[in-house]
Amino acid sequence: MTTRRLPNARPEPPAAIRPAAAPAPLDAGTRAERAAANEGLPTVEFAEATPYEQYVGVRQLQALVRPVTDHPAEPAFLVVTQVMELWFTLLRREWELAQQQLRADDLDGAVASVRRSVHHLRSLDASWGSLLWLTPAEFNGFRDSLGEASGFQSYEYRHVEFLLGLKAESVVRPHRGLPVVHADLQRALAGPSLEDDVLAYLARRGLPVPAAVLDRDRSVTHEADPTVTEIWAAVYRDPRPGNELFGLGEALTDVAEVYTTWRQRHVLAVRRSMGAKPGSGGSAGLAWLERSAARVVFPDLWAARTVL
């Protein structure tokens, strides 16, 4: 099948789809009054865009679906990628909030944020289901037109990795051309991960987290430490419902497990759609992705299971 490449130049979106004002807030009393006036039916008359459009920005979202070919498989590939970017943004928000809560010694709030993120991760993982049908022939139908565009270049995904403690300076370099993004990634690279904030919280609780772990270079991935592993093993030896640190450990383990599942499904999706061909972004493709997917999130929590 010959696929037509569409022009790269894209016009500016018309004013009608630019960000609109947020919908006017309503209180419970006003909602009840409107429901009574409408005799229980929805409001159907609006002078401007509907409040739903104002809040969600549907036309803005639609305007972002800009395939570069006319191949029928490309829109699904593009939309799934964009949806994943939104999940990355949501995960980043949840984990940064959990960090703030841990620093304020609000363990209940932090665990709630982490547990919410597990549901987001499961939805992220489920996104692969919308690409299971993509065959090599279908992917090849538009792949060349993607140029050097690669998921490796997702800076929001890098924030997710950094928050999970998977640090590497090299993955920041592609974003030098976007100074604000680059500076934000450098900050995240040098700053504490969610795991670092968990360990600092454990130390404030009087647990013997080594100073070398607390004061380490945070731009480097944390490897399992025997003392920290034993701290978690001790927590897991007491799985009573009232052991709040056990709940924290299990919530973090859920994050690590579902995130790892998502990465493994990424490997399978690549293997299924393109095999072991070189990647678009200059990597070895599947081989590089497999090495990346093998990195362990929260290594002490996993090592503790061997100790028990």
Rounded to two decimals, what is the model's pTM? Answer: 0.89
**52 and 178 part of one domain:** no
Same domain, 187 and 77: yes
3-state secondary structure of 61: helix
Range with the largest mean pLDDT of 13-17, 167-171, 272-276: 167-171
Residues contributing to the annotated binding site for substrate:
143
Q: What is the DSSP letter of 192?
A: -
- Helix residue ranges per DSSP H, the chain: 28-37, 51-56, 58-63, 74-103, 107-126, 136-143, 155-163, 179-190, 194-204, 211-214, 226-236, 244-274, 286-293, 299-307
In a domain, 68, yes or no: no
Q: What is the CA radius of gyration of the chain?
A: 23
Per-residue pLDDT, 294 = 86
CA 27 to CA 11: how far, in whole Å? 40
Considering only 12-16, 202-206, 279-283, 301-305, which range has the smallest mean pLDDT? Answer: 12-16
Percent of the chain with pLDDT over 90: 76
User: Which residue ranges are tagged as binding site?
Assistant: 143, 266
User: In this structure, what is the dihedral angle of CA atoms 53, 54, 56, 60, given to the nearest 10 degrees?
Assistant: 80
Strand partners, 69: 5
> From residue 146, how far is each of 44, 64, 71 by CA, in Å?
42, 16, 12
- Look up the domain containing 250 and give its range: 73-307
- The reply to whether 85 falls in a domain is yes
Residue 166 lies in a domain: yes
Residue 1's pLDDT is 45
Return contacts of 270-275, CB within 8 angstroms, 24+ apart.
272/132, 272/134, 272/136, 273/131, 273/134, 273/135, 273/136, 273/138, 273/139, 274/136, 274/139, 274/140, 274/143, 275/136
Which of these ranges, 10-24, 119-133, 199-213, 234-248, has the smallest mean pLDDT? 10-24
Q: Does 298 map to a domain?
A: yes
Domain match, 120 and 184 both: yes
The pLDDT of 216-239, averaged and rounded, is 96
Per-residue pLDDT at 18: 54
Count Cβ neighbours within 10 Å for each residue of 36-46 and write b for 16 or more, e otherwise.
eeeeeeeeeee
> Same domain for 157 and 135?
yes
| pLDDT at 10 (0 to 100) | 40
3-state secondary structure of 69: strand
Query: Is residue 130 in a domain?
Result: yes
- Residue 128 covered by a domain: yes
Confidence tier at 280 by pLDDT (50, 70, 90): low
pLDDT category at 13 given cuts 50, 70, 90 is: very low
User: How many residues are present in the chain?
Assistant: 308
Residue 31 shares a structural domain with residue 86: no
The reply to whether 28 and 165 lie within a common domain is: no
| 26 and 132 part of one domain | no
Residue that has been written with the tokens 């454990």 in this structure: 202
Quickly state the pLDDT bin for 275 (edges 50, 70, 90). confident
| Angle at the Cα of 120 from the Cα atoms of 115 and 126, rounded to 5 degrees | 130
Band of residue 12 on the pLDDT scale cut at 50, 70, 90: very low
User: Same domain, yes or no, for 169 and 264?
Assistant: yes
Q: Cα–Cα distance between 147 and 125 in angstroms, integer?
A: 26
Considering the domain boundaries, does residue 9 fall inside one?
Answer: no
Q: Whole-number mean pLDDT of the chain?
A: 90
In three-state form (DSSP H/G/I as H, E/B as E, the rest C), the secondary structure along 216-262 is: CCCCCCCCCCHHHHHHHHHHHCCCCCCCHHHHHHHHHHHHHHHHHHH
Average pLDDT for residues 40-65, to the nearest whole number?
92
Same domain, 57 and 169: no
Q: Which of 239, 243, 256, 246 is nearest to 302 (CA)?
A: 256
Residues 6+ apart with CB under 8 A from 226: none
Q: Residue 267: which CATH number? A: 1.20.58.480
Q: Which of 181, 157, 162, 10 is nearest to 81 (CA)?
A: 157
Would you list which residues are annotated within the binding site for heme? 266
158 is a domain residue: yes
Spatial distance between the Cα atoms of 99 and 104, rounded to a whole number of angstroms? 9
